[in-house]
Structure 1
Amino acid sequence: MVIMIFLLTILGLLISLAGGALVSFFLLKVSISYYLVNLLKLTTVQAFLNGMVKSLVFGILIATISCYEGYYSEPSAEGVGKAVNRTLTYASISVFLVNYIITAIVSFTFSLGENILFLSGVK
């Protein structure tokens, strides 16, 4: 599950970049090379790593919640149904909260680093 979420994140990223290139080429009349040059200029390693780390954390979180709820479910069709509902609820809320926490930590960490560089005069 964890590996598949990570791989699906990469696949989604590649498909969205290809879709953006096609839309910019056919609708906005922007050349593919111009799109790629500006994409590389404007995309940071931080943003890419942030997305990859989040997908790994979400995969671990969802797999852990799913295994726990499945293992401790009642051995009946009704018990499994209730466990599935709890799993979806807990996983959704957990992903939302963990996303907020990771974003806050990463934003604070990188903005702190940028502020230190700014104050020290490094460009």
Structure 2
Amino acid sequence: MLLVSCPFCHKKVLKFFYAGHRAKHTAPLPDGQMRDHVTVHPTGRYKGSLSGVPQVYLHPKCGVATKMPEEIIRSYLVNPFLYGGGSFCCGCNDYRPVNEFIWTETGQNMAEYNQDLQEAYLRVHGEPPPRPTV
């Protein structure tokens, strides 16, 4: 296959140029966060209300809360296996393990929340979805 579907911008990119294309998405911003993150294509993201869905997490080690971008929330709601074990902390300016974060809205540990979403997905679908090629 000559084209790769970019999991960051969802454009088709020639395989030969993909490494450079990906590097632009993953380049760090001044605060240390990657410029872009992998998401589900906009047409496949969760379309429902986000009422009751946690969106802000606290890192107790530094005391700073971080709001998760809506496109990431809507992506992991349809594919809770999409992201690895880390999330960005605006206080530390670094990616930290999800077990270090607590959702401010519910008080639940982010790792436990993610595990609950993954278990619910498996009850319905039987197996995780394929991982995107990054």
Which TM class, normalised by the smaller chain length?
under 0.3
Structure with the bigger RCO (C-alpha within 8 Å, sep 6+) is 1
Q: In proportion to residue count, which structure has more helix?
A: 1
Indicate the structure (1 or 2) with the bigger Cα radius of gyration. Answer: 1
Q: In proportion to residue count, which structure has more strand?
A: 2
TM-score, structure 2 as length reference = 0.26
